[in-house]
Amino acid sequence: MKACAKIAHVFMAYFFRRDKLAKLILNLAMVGGDPVLALLIVLSVISVAFIVEKIFFMRKIEKDLFNYSPSDLRSTLNKRLGFFATVGSNAPFIGLFGTVLGIMKAFHDLAISSDFGVRVVMNGIAEALSSTALGLFVAVPCVIAYNYFVRKARDLNYIYEEHLDAQSKP
């Protein structure tokens, strides 16, 4: 416990001395929203791949439904659902983070520019807002996929349990 407190104290002393934390945040903002856009594009591609995989996988499960044990069926049906839920709920916030970084960069560019006017800052703000749009573009299909596959898993599980109940009755 004392080691953790000492590490926290050293960390706080380092970053709060001479505005190092503020400089670190400003340097992060100067990168802009491009890394965030790249992350969202990667998440979008992975999401589409997982959705296509899950569609084919669900068709296979429907054909072989009664060959699974109850625990195997449950774990198989729930595969990748956590990914869809996580990306669907967090992608808008990732996009918002990119927007904040982009707006900070736009205002910094305005501050150091010799020109003064709307043109200097508008391009940066337009680029920054694209992060939010891309975050929503990634999140919405993931939420739709999550809801669809949860419902489909529930329906298949219900059919499976009805089949087991019908077999167990004399």
Extract the tokens encoding 148: 């669809």
pLDDT of residue 125 exceeding 80: yes
Q: How many CA atoms lie within 13 A of 39 on its CB side?
A: 19
pLDDT of residue 145 exceeding 70: yes
- Summarised one tens digit per residue, pLDDT across range 101-124 is 888 888 877 777 777 677 777 877
Predicted pLDDT of residue 154: 92
pTM for the full model?
Answer: 0.77
pLDDT of residue 163 exceeding 90: no
- Summarised one tens digit per residue, pLDDT across range 6-43 is 776 666 666 666 567 667 667 766 777 788 889 999 99
- Cβ 37 vs Cβ 132: under 8 Å: no
pLDDT category at 81 given cuts 50, 70, 90 is: very high
DSSP secondary structure of the chain: -HHHHHHHHHHHHHHHGGGHHHHHHHHHHHHTTHHHHHHHHHHHHHHHHHHHHHHHHHHHHHHTGGGS-HHHHHHHHTTTHHHHHHHHHHHHHHHHHHHHHHHHHHHHHHHH-SS-SHHHHHHHHHHHHHHHHHHHHHHHHHHHHHHHHHHHHHHHHHHHHHHHHHHH--
Predicted pLDDT of residue 126: 84
pLDDT category at 161 given cuts 50, 70, 90 is: confident
d(CA 112, CA 30): 12
pLDDT of residue 73 exceeding 60: yes
d(CA 81, CA 69): 20
Query: pLDDT over 70 for what percent of the chain?
Result: 82
